[in-house]
Amino acid sequence: MPGPSPGGSPEREAEAGGPPRGPGRGRRVRFLLPHTAIPLPSVREEERLFYRRLEALMAPGPGGFGPLFAADGWSDLTEDRLLRKRVVQDGQGGPRPQPGQEVSVKVLGALEDGGLVERDPRLTFVPGHGDVVQALELGVPTMQPGEVSFFLAAFPYGYGRPGREPDVPPEAPLLFEVTLLEVRNDPDPQPLPPAARLRLGAQRRERGNFHFARGDFAAALRSYRLALRALDGPAAGETGREGGAGAAGLGR
């Protein structure tokens, strides 16, 4: 598959109008307004725009995402070239996320057949805490606020060899479209009300269970320690930091 023309990326030039050919799942999501001035399209409009950009990237016929792993116009985020980035819309010039900061992103994720398997209007996480797939852990810190980028991820940077039942098949590559909405310092969970701390602790414990079931015991331990930090106080937070930096990997 030839790379994109030098005159501009095809997804930037995708025209409005006409129904998308991708088989979107049609799920309805209520958007939460971000704390930034970044304009967001409606749910229906954003899906149409996503599929137009996707169609502009991919040539007709079989092959799926395979040709994109060798196509021009992408930057490689890993030495194995199994995680790639393509900027769709430049950011607003602000600083990129720094270690320990919390980010909020809007995410759409698709399989090779175009089926949407990820849709989150405002996903909030701290890169390195292991709460999201490696594609986002490694990709989002390269973005500026307001930036929209594609991240093409082979299965080690997505949901690993097992996939994710029932919607992500084993060893499935994924294409994420990510908008970086906000970057802020990671809040200490202790000032949060008890109910919020319980939710945060439960979320991190469930993530630890997810890693444990896949045999990624280091990532599971890191998530469990972060759960304790949310529930037990500063001593548990210090223990969590002893687990070391670095994102938890799925399928590694």
How far is 245 from 197, CA to CA, in rounded Å?
22
- CB of 116 closer than 8 Å to CB of 48: no
How many residues are recorded in the chain?
252
Counting Cα atoms < 13 Å in the Cβ hemisphere of 131 gives 18
Q: What does DSSP assign to residue 168?
A: B
Identify the DSSP state of 96.
P
Cα distance between residue 117 and residue 163, in whole Å: 11
Instruction: In whole angstroms, give the CA distance from residue 158 to residue 204.
Output: 18
Answer whether 138's CB lies under 8 Å from 246's CB: no
Query: Mapping DSSP to helix (H, G, I), strand (E, B) and coil, where does residue 251 land?
Result: coil
Q: Does the pTM of the predicted model rise above 0.85?
A: no
Q: What tokens were used for 179?
A: 């908008």
Mean pLDDT of each 10-residue bin along the chain, 252 residues long: 48 48 42 46 77 80 83 96 96 90 95 92 89 94 97 94 91 97 78 82 84 79 85 48 32 33
With 0-12 / 13-18 / 19 or more C-beta atoms within 10 angstroms meaning exposed / middle / buried, residue 251 is: buried
Name residue 159's amino acid.
Y
Question: How far apart are alpha carbons 11 and 13 in whole angstroms?
Answer: 5
Q: Are 222 and 243 in contact (CB under 8 A)?
A: yes
Whole-number pLDDT of residue 39: 55
Strands 75-76 and 101-110: unpaired
Q: How many other CB atoms sit within 10 Å of the CB of residue 149?
A: 22
The CA-to-CA distance between both ends of the chain, in Å, stands at: 29
pLDDT at 18: 47
**Could you tell me which of 226, 220, 251 has the C-alpha nearest to residue 239?**
226
> Cα separation of 76 and 204, whole Å?
29
